[in-house]
Amino acid sequence: MDDRPTGPLAGLLVADFSRVLAGPYATMLLADLGAEVIKVEAPAGDDTRAWAPPVRDGVSTYFLGVNRNKRSVVLDLADGTDRALARELAGRADVLIENFRPGGLDRFGLGYDAVAATNPGVVYASISGFGTTERGRALPGYDLIVQAMSGLMSLTGTPEGEPLRSGFALFDVIAGMHAAIGILAALRARSDSGQGQHVEVDLLSSALSGMVNQTSAYVAGGVVPHRMGNNHPSLYPYEPLPCADGELVITSGNNAQFRRLCEVLGVPELADDPRFARNEDRTVNRDQLRPLLVARLRTRTTTEWFREIVAAGVPCGPINDVAGGVGFAGEIGLEPVVDVGTGEAMVPTVRNPIRFSGTPVDYRLPPPRLDEHGAEIREWLGSSGKE
């Protein structure tokens, strides 16, 4: 196959039996780093191919967002010949990743035990919604369900409003990153032992880990967090505050930052006020402090205050829409968009966030059309094989 990768994971073969988001996001990260990823799709294709609008040239932008640097082959696991090809791929792979319901690939001879029996070095990663216990395996794992059941929605929104979901599938993404980390760790262990292993990630565990201070508040402190809108339970100020023409997010992570904020706002005396001198005091007395800060902020525009507050070394920023966020990243030189492919096949995608000094990320293949590479992959695997 042409277009061989050159990144730090070059030479690794990943058999990607996953679909939708968590698994495909993990495999795209690996592919960006140089792994050769073969995306195995059912005849109908990955579900996200049909998740539209929006679209680009008739293709779902959802699918485009997590499937660059991969080759697509359609294998119908209900068909004996295709099933044999899938097993051959699994037997050659360094990594196999799947997000079927727990045990769902066993009936095709593609579960961990069956694959490891002929490929003992395989790192086999499984992503589920709620794990593999008797109760957990029976539950379908959609991100929104996990946002509800993990407690995240109880934290999102205003105190008087209804629980809200995150604006994107947060826990699918976190689980995908956890899966990628687990795979890399297992590959490192394999370099010493020669043996692969089964890596398991579930969305609920990823959610509870990803909520960090909120879950720790309950587990370590016995406190059940609740919705606070844009307020932070342990820091103040740490929220959007109104200026003359809009809101500016201002964060004060320590007492020195708060003192600098007070100085730039022209109210240095607030930093010495015993009600506000320490972070604990500011957090408890936020209702008294907020109007004092707002009175000063309303005298100037968000742009004017942003420039001055940042210059003073205090973190702050305007509230952008997604276009504004991408645009600002471009303004500061982060080059957030990379074009993958050429000509009519070129697709703009969001840059991988990891930068290497010696082995850069490789953007070699646009997200594939369904079965785009089927013929060459079947030939490579030996498509004349029969069960």
The 8 Å CB, 24+ separation contacts for 52-60 are: 56/347, 57/344, 59/367
Q: How many CB atoms lie within 10 A of CB 361?
A: 19
Q: Smallest Cα–Cα separation from 205: which of 178, 233, 239? A: 178
Structure token digits, residue 165:
């979901």
Q: Which residue has the tokens 């008797």?
A: 134
Instruction: Give the per-residue SS3 of the chain.
Output: CCCCCCCCCCCCEEEEECCCCHHHHHHHHHHHCCCEEEEEECCCCCHHHHCCCCEECCEEHHHHCCCCCEEEEECCCCCHHHHHHHHHHHHHCCEEEECCCCCCCHHHCCCHHHHHHHCCCCEEEEEECCCCCCCHHHCCCCHHHHHHHHCHHHHCCCCCCCCCCCCCCHHHHHHHHHHHHHHHHHHHHHHHHCCCEEEEEEHHHHHHHHCHHHHHHHHHHCCCCCCCCCCCCCCCCEEEEECCCCEEEEECCCHHHHHHHHHHHCCHHHHHCCCCCCHHHHHHCHHHHHHHHHHHHCCCCHHHHHHHHHHCCCCEEECCCHHHHHHHHHHCCCCCEEEECCHHHCEEEECCCCCCCCCCCCCCCCCCCCCCCHHHHHHHHCCCCCC
Distances (CA, A) of 229 to 70, 164, 197, 238, 381: 40, 10, 43, 11, 54
User: Does the annotation count 172 as an active-site position?
Assistant: yes
Catalytic residue, candidates 172, 202, 362, 371: 172
Residues that are catalytic: 172
